[in-house]
Structure 1
Amino acid sequence: MLRLIIKLFAHIIATVSDNFYQALANPQSVQKLVQKEIIQLLVKSEYGNYLGIQSINDWEHIPIVEYEDIHKWIKSGVANKMLTPEPIIFYEKTSGSGSAAKLIPYTKSLRKSFSQMFCVWAHDLIVNGANFSTGKVYFCISPKLGDASAIQSGVKVGLEDDSEYLDGWLRWFLSPFLVSPPGINRIRDPNEFKEKLVNTLLVEENLEIISIWNPSFFKVHLDYIQANQQRLAAQLKNKISTERYQLLLEDKINWSKLWSKLKLISCWDSANAKEQANYLRSLFPNVMVQGKGLLATEAPMTIPLIKAQGFVPVLNEVFFEFEQQGNIYHLHELEKGKSYSLIISQKGGLYRYRIGDRIRVTHYYLKTPCLEFIGRTETTSDLVGEKLHEDFVQDVLNQLPLEGTFFQSLVPVRIPKDHYLLLLDHANLPAQIIAQLLDQELMRSHHYQQARLLGQLSPPQVLISAQIPEIITNYRMRQGIKWGDIKHQVLVTTPIDQELLNLLNYA
Structure 2
Amino acid sequence: MRPIIQLFGQILAPTARRFHQALDDPESMQISVQQEICDRLIASPYGKALGINSIADWERVPIVDYDALTPWMGNGEKHHTGELIPLTPEPILFYEKTSGSSGAVKWIPYTQSLRRSFNQMFCVWAHDLIVNGPKFSTGKLYACISPQLNQTNSPSLQDDLDYLDGWLRWFLRPWLVMPKGLNKLHDAQQFKHQLALALLQAETLEIISIWSPSFLEVHLKYIQENHELLRSELQGRISEYRLQLLRDNIPWTQLWPHLKLISCWDSANSADQAKGLRSLFPHVLIQGKGLLATEAPMTIPLIAAQGYVPVIDEVFFEFEDETGSLYKLHELCIGKEYTVILSQKGGLYRYRIGDRIRVTHWYRHTPCLEFLGRHPAVSDLVGEKLHESFVHQVLNSLNLSGNHFKSLVPVAQPPHYILLLDTAQETPEIIAQKLDTALSQSHHYYRARSLGQLATPKVFISPQMPELLSLHRAQNGRIWGGIKHPILATSPISGELLQKLGFHGL
Tell me what 2:334 maps to: 336
1:200 aligns to 2:198 (yes or no) = yes
SS in 2 for 1:101: coil
Post-superposition offset of 1:240: 1.3
Post-superposition offset of 1:162: 3.6
Amino-acid identity (%): 55
Distance of 2:110 and 2:196 partners within structure 1: 31
1:450 aligns to 2:480 (yes or no) = yes
SS in 2 for 1:13: helix
1:305 aligns to 2:302 (yes or no) = yes
Which of 392, 417, 421 lines up with 1:414 in the alignment?
421
Equivalences, count: 425
Residues 362-377 of structure 1 correspond to what in structure 2 (within 5 A)?
Answer: 362-377=360-375
Against the structure 1 CA distance between its residues 444 and 343, is the aligned structure 2 distance closer, same or farther, given a 3 Å change threshold?
farther
Tell me what 1:474 maps to: none
Contact 2:114 2:345 (8 Å CA) reproduced: yes
Contact 1:360 1:374 (8 Å CA) reproduced: yes
Tell me what 1:30 maps to: 29
Tell me what 1:84 maps to: 88
Post-superposition offset of 1:444: 7.8
Contact 1:100 1:444 (8 Å CA) reproduced: no
Amino acid at match of 1:199: L
1:130 aligns to 2:134 (yes or no) = yes
Tell me what 2:11 maps to: 12
Distance of 1:135 and 1:489 partners within structure 2: 41
Amino acid at match of 1:415: D
TM-score by length of 2: 0.77
Against the structure 1 CA distance between its residues 412 and 93, is the aligned structure 2 distance closer, same or farther, given a 3 Å change threshold?
farther
SS in 2 for 1:33: helix
Distance of 2:45 and 2:208 partners within structure 1: 41
Distance of 1:442 and 1:368 partners within structure 2: 38
Gaps of 5+ in 2: 380-387, 393-404, 425-431, 433-452, 456-468, 494-502
CA deviation map 1:263-308 (0-9, x unaligned)? 0000011111111111111111110000110011111000100010
Tell me what 1:460 maps to: none
Tell me what 1:163 maps to: 161
Distance of 2:295 and 2:147 partners within structure 1: 18
Distance of 2:125 and 2:481 partners within structure 1: 27
CA deviation map 1:358-386 (0-9, x unaligned)? 00000000000000001111227999xx9
Which of 225, 242, 245 lines up with 2:243 in the alignment?
245
Tell me what 2:53 maps to: 54
Tell me what 2:443 maps to: none
Gaps of 5+ in 1: 151-156, 398-404, 426-437, 458-487, 493-503
Against the structure 1 CA distance between its residues 231 and 359, is the aligned structure 2 distance closer, same or farther, given a 3 Å change threshold?
same
Against the structure 1 CA distance between its residues 380 and 133, is the aligned structure 2 distance closer, same or farther, given a 3 Å change threshold?
farther
Against the structure 1 CA distance between its residues 161 and 326, is the aligned structure 2 distance closer, same or farther, given a 3 Å change threshold?
closer
Distance of 2:127 and 2:310 partners within structure 1: 16
Tell me what 1:346 maps to: 344
Distance of 2:289 and 2:310 partners within structure 1: 12
Distance of 2:203 and 2:101 partners within structure 1: 42
Against the structure 1 CA distance between its residues 235 and 304, is the aligned structure 2 distance closer, same or farther, given a 3 Å change threshold?
same
RMSD: 3.3
Against the structure 1 CA distance between its residues 245 and 315, is the aligned structure 2 distance closer, same or farther, given a 3 Å change threshold?
same
Residues 136-285 of structure 1 correspond to what in structure 2 (within 5 A)?
Answer: 136-140=140-144, 142-150=146-154, 157-249=155-247, 251-285=248-282
Distance of 1:141 and 1:313 partners within structure 2: 26
TM-score by length of 1: 0.77
Distance of 1:506 and 1:7 partners within structure 2: 58
Distance of 2:102 and 2:303 partners within structure 1: 38
Distance of 1:198 and 1:264 partners within structure 2: 18
